[in-house]
Every structure is written in structure tokens, then in C-alpha cells.
Amino acid sequence: MNKNNGAVISLPSEREILVTRTFDAPRELVFRAHTDPQLIPLWWGPRSTTTIVDKMDVRPGGEYRFIHRSDDGSEVVFHGEFREIVAPQRLVQTSAMEGMPGFLLETLSFEEHGGKTTLTVLDDCPTQEVRDAVLASGMEEGMNESYDRLTDLLAQQSPAAG
């Protein structure tokens, strides 16, 4: 179990990655930040990249494709398909990084207690090798930086910030 910037990462099985982070915002705001194509570029990805939402059709069967572009023009592309959407409690989607083997099945759960939202992300990888490749890809650092950016965005959108 690692604790970085508020996120807790654990490996519940040889194929799974479990991430938990609590945000000081209502779950409707946290959920919307994950499903609004206008908000994704404001938080998703490292600060050193520009995130472009190439495609985002938020409905079961709808696809998404996000491009992280660095200043030098290099790109990393993530894509997948939404499988289940239960606003504002749950998202189930596939996820893949172009150039990496296999798709993950991601289940995002949003639970609110006392105005704070705990986001739980369970990544189910097709094999242990894929799980290990995801972990070795810089996923933890990128995720923590993204969640720090999301924390900043949520603070701006919170009713208390108004």
C-alpha cells in the first residue's frame, strides 16, 4: 500500500489495481469532472502535457479518446468505451493506452460522506503482466498529479468557493 498525495494504491489480486482518494467536494462535482468533456482537459494528465479530448460520448457503448501532448509534440493516447453509467455513483469503462497490450476494465465508485467524496477506482487487468506494465508505465505519478489538479479544479467549482 502506497500513500502519495492522498491517493492509496493497493494490489488486491495479481490482476487488479485499487486506487482510493478522497476529495473535499460533493460527489456530483467529482462525477461531473469525470464525465464532462469540457472539464477533462482542466485536470486529466500531467501538468507538463496538454490534454485533448478527441472523442467523448458518455453513454453505455460510447467511446472516449484523450491525447496527452507534450511541448515537444510527442503524444500519449488513452481510449476506451463506457460500459455502465449510474450518475453520480458509478462509472464502468474499458481503458487502454495506445502501444500497451490489453484493455483494463475500470470501475469508478463515488461515495459522499459529509460533503467529501471518496473515489475508488478498481482496474481489472487481463493478466498480471498487463497489470505490472501499467504500474511500470508511470501510472502512479501521472494519476497523483492528475488528482492534485482535480483537487484544485474542485476547489474552484465548490459552492464554498463562489
Segments making up each domain of the chain, as ranges: 2-157
Distance in angstroms (rounded) separating the CA atoms of residues 108 and 110: 7
Distance in angstroms (rounded) separating the CA atoms of residues 151 and 43: 9
Per-residue pLDDT, 4: 39
Containing 97, the helix (H) or strand (E) segment is strand 90-97
Q: How far apart are the first and last CA of the chain?
A: 36
Give per-residue pLDDT as tens, 36-77: 999 999 999 989 999 999 999 999 999 999 999 999 999 999
Per-residue pLDDT, 158: 65
Stated pTM of the model: 0.90
Per-residue pLDDT, 133: 87
Per-residue pLDDT, 62: 98
Q: Which stretches in the chain have pLDDT values below 70?
A: 1-5, 158-162
Per CATH, the architecture of 2-157 is what? 2-Layer Sandwich (3.30)
